[in-house]
Structure 1
């Protein structure tokens, strides 16, 4: 697996679009939505197309970018 970047959250959960913005992968909610809609985001190894998907500590999110795959772990 690629290097995993831990992303700490303050609450019990975070929505996928918020995580992408918080981690600096998306500049805005619209950018996060477009990225998720493109099919380039995996949650738990499966394509996720819902920007509002709830994520909890321990969830893995993989994002395909032009520079390679980025893997985030919710902490």
Structure 2
């Protein structure tokens, strides 16, 4: 859906540009940036949310590290 909106908006800005205009047509990235700034809500930045996100991320990293350790132990045992 987002890609369709960006494609239509880009096509509209490309055709709306006149020969005398000093602006180049907006790129897909520029349109996405404008969409994020104007239409989408900003990210949560309150303290509780940041602390929860930090704890979730560190827990996920711990689980990933443990999985890698287990996998390395299995491959070491299988190759020796």
TM-score scaled by structure 1? 0.23
Higher relative contact order (CA 8 A, sep 6+): 1
Greater percentage in strand: 1
Greater percentage in helix: 2
Larger Rg: 2
